[in-house]
Amino acid sequence: MLTLSSKQNTADKTPLEKFLAHNPFPEPLTQGFFYREKMRAIHNIAPNQPLQIILEIGGGQSGLSALLYPQAQITNLDLNPEYAQAPCNQQERVCFVCGDATALPFENNSFDAVTMFDLLEHVPDHQKAITEALRVLRPGGFILISTPNENWRFPYYKFMKSICPSEAEIMAEWGHVRRSYTLTELQVLISLPCQEYATFINPLTVLGHDISFSRLSHRQRQFLCKMLSPLTWLSYYLHQPHSMGTETASVWQKHE
């Protein structure tokens, strides 16, 4: 039986610092620092368990589930067939499948866990995607999700509007079909209680995030992110899992 417990053997999950050291985003300590925040939140909520068979929906070329659970067999399903050639999908224990989150080509009760990192906000029929995820998840298994939450907006501060794309432009660029989810909205969607959650990208670290996606040149973005680095690191270390953030990682357990 799979259970969520802080007493589980943490060796089943990659140690945090080792996990963070493999941040796949370019320039991970400056313009990619926000991805470090995301990874820490995901690590915080991920069960400390020997999950053996994991389905990563929309994993693309990041390989987060494989990094998180180094002993697990990973199936990465994504709509983009080009991601099959990404290094993370060339590992022996990773199987890449080109497919649709709303029509999973797998049998019922096939996986110990399903991960949906930054996925639901891209899927028009998000209810069907959740229904499919629950169908292929074994009883007692986990769904790990990350999404923007009710505090998300772009840019976060009005004074940044002159150097940033509009929110509509950035959502179109990223392929978002909706802004965000509250935990209550996710609970209604999933029809399960939330086991744990952790927020990330707080009102201070968000400055670096928004600069990274601004209209400034690469050199200007890099310079500003470095200038903000002391504030970013301090805010990162002071941030608590349930503090205010603009995005949320959460874990949900299917009934036995």
The string of DSSP letters for 170-187 reads: HHHHHT-SS----HHHHH
- Residues 19, 25, 27, 30, CA torsion sign: negative
The answer to whether residues 248 and 187 touch, using CB atoms and an 8 Å cutoff, is no
What mean pLDDT comes out for the span 160-171? 98
What mean pLDDT comes out for the span 50-55? 94
Mean pLDDT of the chain: 94
What mean pLDDT comes out for the span 121-126? 98
pLDDT at position 9 is 42
What mean pLDDT comes out for the span 225-244? 98
- For the chain, what percent of residues have pLDDT higher than 70? 96
Q: Please report where in the chains the tokens 């298994």 appear, as a residue.
A: 141
pLDDT, one tens digit per residue, over 80-111 is: 999 999 999 999 999 999 999 999 999 999 99
Give the C-alpha separation, 70 to 60, whole Å: 18
The answer to whether residues 110 and 75 touch, using CB atoms and an 8 Å cutoff, is no
Q: Please report where in the chains the tokens 């999908």 appear, as a residue.
A: 89
